[in-house]
């Protein structure tokens, strides 16, 4: 079974927002969310998930209100998609976090401030959500098949191939191989920088995700910019013992922000 997961980072505060600082978007943040929505306005989503923090809620609604076919979709808010918890460092600047780490004889990002989450804890939250998502899609596909309903057509794949610059080179991978599983879901996930970096690390290291040749090493290790967009194609089986195969189409894409940068 094949699905597409599109991860998008919410607009992040300059300070460490974490989970405890639940501030709304700035004026720039609303503009960036709208720009992402315009960029994605032709993409047909079957599911939309978001962190339940204010900045992600506002970001996802800024995206959907620009979408031509998904404006009224129900967003499922999930606390497993929250940003890493930074404990006593929340609301402080990154320089202060680095100073705390230095004082403790450690380095960022591996340092865990008092009351914060370890990187392993963040990773386990990501794995838990990912496995839940795969099982949800499989159960829904099973239900549709048993009710003799049609599964989503290749319009899902077409909408992606038309929108993503890097997706065009992968269009044939969606449709040309008749033996390939049908694309059954196109999922939008809106979360946070450190969380998504951890989840993508799981894709890359644990699931041995294949990467586009154009992706640089710095892009693999960096935290996404605000509203950076990443697209993954995932093939999976119902049995949990069978490891999913993951293909990265693009990571931390920022094409939609070019016009904003040029007008500043």
55 labelled binding-site residue? yes
Instruction: Check whether 8 has a pLDDT greater than 80.
Output: yes
- CATH architecture under which domain 2-85+118-262 falls: 3-Layer(aba) Sandwich (3.40)
**Tens digit of pLDDT for each residue in 105-142?**
999 989 999 999 999 999 999 999 999 999 999 999 88
The residues that bridge with 233 in the sheet, in sequence order, are 4, 247
Burial class, 13, CB count within 10 angstroms (exposed 0-12 / middle 13-18 / buried 19+) = middle
* Mean pLDDT estimate for the chain: 85
> Would the annotation count 31 as a binding residue?
no
Q: Which tens digits make up the pLDDT trace of 61-93?
A: 999 999 998 999 999 999 999 999 999 999 888
Find out whether 84 is annotated in a ligand binding site. yes
Per the annotation, does 80 bind a ligand? no
pLDDT, residue 144, reads 73
Q: Select, from the ranges 118-127, 131-140, 232-241, 244-253, the one with the highest average predicted confidence (pLDDT).
A: 118-127
| pTM score, whole prediction | 0.89
The mean pLDDT of 244-264, rounded to a whole number, is 82
Sequence spans of domains, the chain: 2-85+118-262
Q: Is 86 annotated as a binding residue?
A: yes
In this predicted model, which residue has the larger pLDDT, 169 or 165?
Answer: 165
β pairing state of 183-191 and 229-235? unpaired
pLDDT in tens, 140-162: 988 776 554 444 446 787 888 88
Which positions ≥6 away from 55 have C-beta within 8 Å? Answer: 10, 11, 12, 13, 17, 22, 23, 24, 25, 29
């Amino acid at each position: 079974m094949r699905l597409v997961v599109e991860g998008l980072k919410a607009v992040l505060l300059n300070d460490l927002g974490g989970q405890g600082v639940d501030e709304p978007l700035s004026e720039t943040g609303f503009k960036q969310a709208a720009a992402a929505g315009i960029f994605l306005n032709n993409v047909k989503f079957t599911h939309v998930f978001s962190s339940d923090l204010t900045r992600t809620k506002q970001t996802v609604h800024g995206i959907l209100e620009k979408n031509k076919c998904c404006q009224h979709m129900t967003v499922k808010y999930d606390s497993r998609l929250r940003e890493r918890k930074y404990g006593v460092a929340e609301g402080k600047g990154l320089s202060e976090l680095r100073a705390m780490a230095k004082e403790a004889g450690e380095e960022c990002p591996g340092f865990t401030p008092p009351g914060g989450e370890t990187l392993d804890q963040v990773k386990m939250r990501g794995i838990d959500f990912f496995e839940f998502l795969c099982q949800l899609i499989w159960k829904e596909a099973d239900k549709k098949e048993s009710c003799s309903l049609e599964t989503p057509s290749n319009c899902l794949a077409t909408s992606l191939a038309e929108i993503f610059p890097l997706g065009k080179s992968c269009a044939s991978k969606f449709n040309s191989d008749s033996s390939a599983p049908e694309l059954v879901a196109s999922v939008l996930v809106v979360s946070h920088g450190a969380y998504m970096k951890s989840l993508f690390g799981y894709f890359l290291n644990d699931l041995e995700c294949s990467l586009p040749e154009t992706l640089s090493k710095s892009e693999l290790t960096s935290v996404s910019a605000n509203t950076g967009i990443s697209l993954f194609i995932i093939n999976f089986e119902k049995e949990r013992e069978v490891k999913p195969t993951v293909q990265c189409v693009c990571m931390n894409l920022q094409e939609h922000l070019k016009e904003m940068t040029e007008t500043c």
